[in-house]
Amino acid sequence: MHYDAIEYEVREDIARVTLNRPEVMNALNTQMRAEVTHAVKRAGSEARVVVLTGAGRAFCSGQDLGDRANVGHIDLERTLRDEYIPMLEAITESPVPTIAAVNGAAAGAGANLALSCDVVIAAESAVFLQAFARIGLIPDAGGTYWLPRQMGFSKAMGAALFAEPITARQADNWGMIWEAVPDENFVAHWQARALHLAKGPTAAYRAAKQALREGYGNDLSTQLELEARLQGDCGLSRDFKEGVVAFLEKRPAHFEGR
């Protein structure tokens, strides 16, 4: 597939997916959603970690309302079902860790696109904005799912109703994201984080992702059984054997990854 709305490259087992419509702050249109979906799925077999970031001064400003001649006739339900859901599922179901490197403003569906990743690293100058109420909508693109789980019900409700910017530092303090990083260190920092994951035990990461995500809907007994099964699989892996030997030999482990 040829990409026009994004850039895709793989280096050192890291797939970098860059939203590349800087003239509209990387607003999501039909083409971009299709390309992100394809690229993330592709990366699952070509890399050991996926990084989603934005070109220019924004991460993603959300739905491109200018993508339709008549805003009043956008079929939002169809768009969400046919275009957003496949994109978000590609990210959440990726067999490798996903990082959102939020380089600037992340608004509306753009904010929730970032939150769908396993880890969110933001530049301190970045802001998150649930802008939906400003145009008479509710948070979508997974916002009603991720927000209360990651920042608590009261903060999520305030974010949805007031539609006020949340700074990266606030998002960090509230548990909405993994970390906020000074702008001057941002790129080097997320690259180091991505490289750490790319050299790690990919199969164990995949099992951890499954266990943590399924834990939202499981009771304790079911979750303990799932843990036991997944841990049993990990315990039979070459990565586990290598990890133990490396520990005993007091050296870094060299994981095969898959």
H helices of the chain, in order, are: 30-46, 76-79, 85-92, 109-115, 143-151, 153-162, 168-173, 186-198, 202-214, 220-235, 238-249
Amino acid 258: pLDDT: 62
* 222, 97: one domain: no
Give the residue from 163, 179, 198 where a domain finishes. Answer: 198
Residue 49 has pLDDT above 80, yes or no: yes
- The stretch 246-253 carries a mean pLDDT of 94
* 56, 167: one domain: yes
The domain in which residue 179 lies consists of 6-198
- The stretch 115-138 carries a mean pLDDT of 97
Amino acid 69: pLDDT: 42
Residue 178 has pLDDT above 60, yes or no: yes
Residue 68 has pLDDT above 90, yes or no: no
Amino acid 84: pLDDT: 97
* 68, 118: one domain: yes
* 40, 64: one domain: yes
pLDDT of 88-122, one tens digit each?
999 999 999 999 999 999 999 999 999 999 999 99
With respect to residue 128, please indicate whether it lies within any of the assigned structural domains: yes
Mean pLDDT computed over every residue of the chain = 95
With respect to residue 257, please indicate whether it lies within any of the assigned structural domains: no
Where residue 70 falls among pLDDT bands split at 50, 70, 90? very low
Residue 207 tokens read as 């099992």
74 compared with 118, residue with greater pLDDT: 118
**Distance in angstroms (rounded) separating the CA atoms of residues 247 and 238:** 14
* 45, 90: one domain: yes
Residue 254 tokens read as 């060299």
* 50, 175: one domain: yes
* 230, 166: one domain: no
CATH classification at residue 231: 1.10.12
* 41, 138: one domain: yes
CATH classification at residue 122: 3.90.226.10
- Number of domains present in the structure of the chain: 2
**Distance in angstroms (rounded) separating the CA atoms of residues 65 and 24:** 10
Hey, how many other C-beta atoms are within 10 angstroms of the C-beta on 38?
18
Q: Which distant-in-sequence residues (6+ apart) come within 8 Å of 70 by Cβ? A: none
